[in-house]
């Protein structure tokens, strides 16, 4: 919810501030990519090209390329302050003490009977087997999870999303997202479907080709003229995301030093969020126990925030905004 507050307020502030200065179409061109990543860019660029606004395509492209330069340093500063606050405030002490107690108990555990150890091991293996079995449940039988069949499923899903988009007027990106989530929940799509289809590298290369093709009509003058508008869009959008993260942190009784970086994941996403948590835990933690405690505290909300903004909400926001041009 904190991440959602951030991108909604960020996009809203861009429309409110940038529209009177640069025009509504320019504001929308930048608002979508600010709230997410490459999918939001593709949706925005497709719509701009369709409307004949080719000179504006460079704006979402520059936003996409520059947004992490703003988001990651800000998130790094705030998360580092939060980690130091946890460390110096003694909030990591219980974890360390618990680990010490565990270590002491481990020193005295040599006298545990072999029967008890075997029983614990068998129970643990049984629980793990049950969990793994549950995770592997698929409506699509494992014998059918071949690259050609998976590619056929992806093709059918993409075609269905495109058809539904043309039929309903709702952007195909939203339909593709919905079909993907439903298919995964029902077990139609196996985990890491692109890797299983041996198509992940090809898909990434295709995305790059699509991005480059969308900028084929962009000139050097267009790039230079878009530079200052992009800085304004990033500045206003960044302020909106920070404000949204701060407000939501207060509402949900989170420390803003933790909540604002979660909202800022809209500007960089994965793997930037993971790298930040890793580097901060290593530099702030004074030993292995503190480093692990800090990393565990930071990683989950940051990854969830990145998924919420870049992977999910940005597609919805961009799809809605481009229809208003």
In the chain, where the domains are located:
2-105+211-322
Cβ contacts of 36 within 8 Å, gap of 6 or more = 7, 266, 269, 309, 310, 311, 313, 314, 315, 317, 318
DSSP conformational letter for 54: G
Give ∠ CA 265-271-277 in degrees, rounded to 5.
Answer: 70
* Cβ pair 54, 85 in contact under 8 A: no
Q: Cα-flanking dihedrals φ and ψ of residue 246, to 5°?
A: -65, -45
Whole-model pTM: value is: 0.71
Cα–Cα dist 156/29, whole Å: 30
Of all residues in the chain, the percent with pLDDT exceeding 70 is: 81
Mean pLDDT of the chain: 78
pLDDT tens digit string along 306-325?
Answer: 877 777 777 788 888 888 88
Binned at pLDDT 50, 70 and 90, residue 141 comes out as low
């Amino acid at each position: 919810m904190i991440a959602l507050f951030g991108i909604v307020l960020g996009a809203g502030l861009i429309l409110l501030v940038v529209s009177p200065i640069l025009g509504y179409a320019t504001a929308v061109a930048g608002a979508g990519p600010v709230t997410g990543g490459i999918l939001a860019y593709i949706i925005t660029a497709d719509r701009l090209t369709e409307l004949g606004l080719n000179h504006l395509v460079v704006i979402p492209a520059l936003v996409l390329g520059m947004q992490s330069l703003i988001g990651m340093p800000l998130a790094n500063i705030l998360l580092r302050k939060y980690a130091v606050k946890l460390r110096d405030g003694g909030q990591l002490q219980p974890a360390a003490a618990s680990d010490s107690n565990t270590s002491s108990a481990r020193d005295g555990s040599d006298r545990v009977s072999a029967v008890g150890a075997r029983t614990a091991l068998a129970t643990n293996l049984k629980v793990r087997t049950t969990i793994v079995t549950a995770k592997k449940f698929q409506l699509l039988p494992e014998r059918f999870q071949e690259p050609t069949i998976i590619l056929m499923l992806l093709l059918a899903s993409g075609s269905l999303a495109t058809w539904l988009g043309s039929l309903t007027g709702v952007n195909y990106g939203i339909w593709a997202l919905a079909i993907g989530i439903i298919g995964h929940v029902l077990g139609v799509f196996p985990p890491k479907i692109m890797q299983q289809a041996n198509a992940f590298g090809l898909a990434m290369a295709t995305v790059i080709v699509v991005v480059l093709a969308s900028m084929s009509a962009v000139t050097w003058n267009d790039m230079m003229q878009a530079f200052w508008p992009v800085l304004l869009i990033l500045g206003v959008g960044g302020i909106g995301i920070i404000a949204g993260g701060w407000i939501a942190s207060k509402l949900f009784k989170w420390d803003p030093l933790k909540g604002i970086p979660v909202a800022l994941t809209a500007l960089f996403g994965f793997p930037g969020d993971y790298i930040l948590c890793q580097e901060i835990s290593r530099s702030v933690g004074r030993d292995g126990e503190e480093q692990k405690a800090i990393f565990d505290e930071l990683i989950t909300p940051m990854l969830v925030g990145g998924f919420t903004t870049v992977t999910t909400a940005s597609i919805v926001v961009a799809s809605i905004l481009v229809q208003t041009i």
